[in-house]
A and B are shown apart, each in its own frame.
Chain A
Amino acid sequence: MAAQPRILMLFTTFLLAQPLTILFSVSIGSLAIPFNSVIDALVNGFRGDDIVSTVIWSIRLPRTITAALGGAGLAVAGVMLQVFFRNPLADPYILGIASGSSLFVALAILAGFTFGIVASPYDPYFLFTASFLGAAAVSALIITLSSIVRSVITLLVAGLMIGYLASALTSILQYLADIERVRAFIFWVLGSFAGAKWIHITPMTVAVLAGVTASLFLAKPFNALLLSDDYARSLGVRIRFVRLSAIAITALLTSSVTVVAGPIGFVGLAVPYLARLAAQSSDNRLLIPLSALLGSTVTVAADMAARTLLSPIELPVSAITALFGVPIVIMLLIRRGSL
């Protein structure tokens, strides 16, 4: 209860920092645009005849918004899975959910499975669906396993194994596919917000907003789940319902991000940790919104770093999140005794 002002300060800080980061992200790049021009362009709306407006509205803004949404989605998925598995090392990527996404996207891009639904396997809505189905399939597999094995370690190993299996199948597909398709796929796998278009943003916004909102309603049962499944049940939690919802939500969040930006590692792992450290609390009612804010800020910053550090060469954003994420995770692992 004494932590109340601290929490208030945290939220205020990030609510202010977030728009500033976005402003920065839109302003910085190979073409540096001053803040006032950025604001002008944003206020005046898209104008095709103006180069600044075009850069902002068709390149930087969609990209930044995608990064912001993606970061928020991954961080929230991370919070949920860490509580769900009662393991601080759980994140969507480690459990093979993203590998499942990759495999299904590979099936679409590399093997050209369109099921006759769409004309092109590159159709963003179709890829979104493929990615979602891949994530959902792996999630369902993990949950089924979790009800059989009950041991967290076994489950994590199972998640890793599923990840390997998906990767193996993906690499076979890559080996057999022609070079053009492989390039398109590799580009997807490396993870980048560069390809973000407005057309991606609509389904993604809906998915992330829905996922984050739904996860807020799971914060209460998730707090009870911190004790144990049996304790949670004895407190009145409907375990089955909560499990299913949690898996559906994390799959939705993970896949919606993965399909647009590819697998972005470490955000889902490190951000929940950082949020917990900053808030000094395990209350998911705080951690979920805080992680969303923190995740989106961090990811926008990482994306900014990815495209400016070696400009004009653009680094994969996963490389940046890992470069910054790894030391943080190691540091936190060493300190884990106190967490």
Chain B
Amino acid sequence: MMLKTDKIVRRYTEIIREPRHHALRSHKLKVGYPKRIVISGVELEVLPGEFIAVIGPNASGKSTLLKTLAGLLKPLGGVVYLDGREITRWRPRELATKLGVVLTERVNPGLMTAFEVVALGRYSYTGALARLTRRDKEIVLKALESVEAQHLANRRFNELSDGEKQKIMVARALAQEPQIIILDEPTTHLDARNKIEILLLLRRLAREKTITVIVSLHEVELSLRLADKLVIVRDGRAEVFNNPEEFIIETGVETLYLMNDRVSFDHISYTVEVHDEPKRGTPVFVIAGAGKGALVYRLLKRLGYVIRTGILHENDIDYHVAAKLRADIISEKPYQPITENTYLKALHAATSANIIIDASPPIGLLNSKNLELVKELRRRQKRIVKIIEEDDSPRDYDEVCCTLAMLPRILEELIR
């Protein structure tokens, strides 16, 4: 047995050590300004077509790192290799055909049209008078097309919206026909839609055109979803993770926020949770299951109620959400019928709560005790609010029915 495991391990290491062509590589890289080292010891290996997200707090040195990787700043130490050659040894014109950038600075190119701005991308391909050949024009139009901005070609750049401007700047970088595009916070001034549009565009470029994309972002969740590799910049260091999962498991997304237990990352929903709502202290018991409770929990949590819930199986999605929101959960082991003991616990928790919310979970063999629970509570004349989906669905007048939207009002009235 031992021998067999050994063999497998060796085979994996052989595969991993297979030499690969790097689009960009840094070794012992030190970045900063003449009198101030910002980040040191950057070891980055970027493959063609990889999408790399650089994350870190403001003033952590993301921009400095990106500018150094783009050859706009000289390294204070170490080297950056582009296509195997030191980046400082490339002539500006050659470099421009390999690498394009989109920076944070706002530009004001006067009366230039979007087409003219994109055509600047052909700078290193054109002659002394920058006359565009037919091929140049085609490439400019194609670049506009790939950011879906053909219709903006003859508009003045300064009259475009922030999102449109950003697309044009990306198109300009594309017109350079680069192997690598480096973007510094391209989503900063954009609205929700444009943010995602730009990021998806960048990933498409990476996937379909094998253009390496290195982009600094503040959108943590989107970065985790989209990036192949993560670079976390903080405290004068740049840690490189081979994939977001490695970061999530080894370091933890929470560490980005430096807010102790007020922020947590949920592996299952792949989202960041915040825990900072004021406690109103009124206990509410939610009968839930199969995801019916999730939105009720969110709403109660935001309003500051103390949440108790049951009877949930530990493998129920509601159990997971409730646990993330730090609710009191009356639970049963996975795939086990609910025991009498658990039922009594739930009954006790529910009767001592001010209000009971029936989130109408589906009832099956394993959780039928929930139905019993509702009946018993009704018999004891506890106040039960049943959550229904639409206002005009048939009602049972023994209990209050309301939609989720109305729930806050109803709770307020009932408690008063």
Contact = CB atoms under 8 A, between A and B. Distances in A.
B123 A230 contact: no
Contact of A283 (B107, B108, B112, B123): B112
28 contacts: A1-B115, A2-B154, A86-B108, A217-B128, A219-B129, A220-B123, A220-B130, A223-B116, A223-B120, A223-B130, A224-B120, A226-B110, A228-B103, A233-B72, A234-B100, A234-B101, A235-B123, A235-B176, A236-B97, A236-B123, A237-B123, A276-B110, A280-B111, A281-B111, A282-B109, A282-B112, A282-B116, A283-B116
A31 B186 CA distance: 67
A235 B112 contact: no
Interface of B: 67, 70-72, 92-93, 95-97, 99-101, 103, 105, 107-112, 115-117, 120-121, 123-124, 126, 128-130, 154, 176
Q: Which of A217, A231, A276, A280 gathers the greatest number of chain B CB atoms within 10 Å?
A: A231
A224 B124 CA distance: 11
A224 B172 CA distance: 11
B111 A231 contact: no
Contacts of B93: 236
B14 to A, nearest CB: 40
Given A2-B154, A226-B109, A236 B124 contact: yes
Interface string A293-324: 00000000000000000000000000000000
A285 interface: yes
A234 B121 CA distance: 9
A339 B112 CA distance: 10
Q: Which 7 A-B pairs have the closest CB atoms?
A: A282-B110, A236-B96, A236-B124, A236-B93, A235-B123, A220-B130, A282-B111
A227 interface: yes
Contacts of B96: 234-236
Given A220-B130, A226-B109, A234-B72, A1 B92 contact: no
A63 B272 CA distance: 76
A237 B130 contact: no
Interface of A: 1-2, 86, 217, 219-220, 223-224, 226-228, 230-231, 233-238, 276, 280-283, 285, 339
A280 B112 CA distance: 9
A237 B154 contact: no
Nearest to B137: A1
Contacts of B126: 220
Given A230-B72, A233-B72, A224 B111 contact: no
Given A235-B96, A339-B111, A227 B117 contact: yes
A217 B111 CA distance: 21
A11 to B, nearest CB: 16
Nearest to B184: A230
Q: Which of B99, B111, B117, B123 gathers the greatest number of chain A CB atoms within 10 Å?
A: B111
Contacts of A237: 92, 123
A224 B123 contact: yes
B406 to A, nearest CB: 48
Given A228-B105, A285-B130, A235 B121 contact: yes
A236 B109 contact: no
Contacts of B107: 226-228, 231
A255 B277 CA distance: 70
Given A217-B128, A219-B129, 11 more contacts: A220-B128, A226-B112, A228-B103, A230-B105, A231-B101, A235-B96, A237-B123, A281-B112, A282-B111, A282-B116, A339-B110
Nearest to B115: A1
B101 A236 contact: no
A1 B130 CA distance: 15
A238 B90 CA distance: 12
A319 to B, nearest CB: 30
Contacts of A1: 115, 154
Contacts of B112: 223, 226, 281-283
Contacts of A224: 120, 123
A265 to B, nearest CB: 23
A86 B124 CA distance: 22
A233 B107 CA distance: 14
Nearest to B110: A282
A100 B108 CA distance: 30
A219 B120 CA distance: 12
